[in-house]
Amino acid sequence: MAGNIGIGIQKFDEIREGDCFYIDKTDFIREWWESREKIL
């Protein structure tokens, strides 16, 4: 599995075209927000 680390790339089409890794942190952010933790 080849891929690039697309640091700073914000557009999904550029991530796909550049064969970059994409990590969806939606659930992580939701859990953190709902936990009201100050420090992780």
For 1-40, what is each residue's pLDDT tens digit?
567 888 888 898 998 899 888 888 889 888 888 888 776 5
Within 10 angstroms of residue 24's Cβ, the number of other Cβ atoms is 7
Q: Which residues lie below 8 Å from residue 20, measured CB to CB, with a gap of 6+? A: 3, 4, 5, 6, 9, 14
One-letter amino acid at 28 equals F
Give the predicted TM-score (pTM) of the model: 0.50
User: For residue 14, what pLDDT is reported?
Assistant: 92
Residue type, 11: K
What phi and psi values does residue 4 have, to the nearest 5 degrees?
Answer: -105, 155
pLDDT of residue 1: 55
C-alpha span between 40 and 25 (Å, rounded)? 14
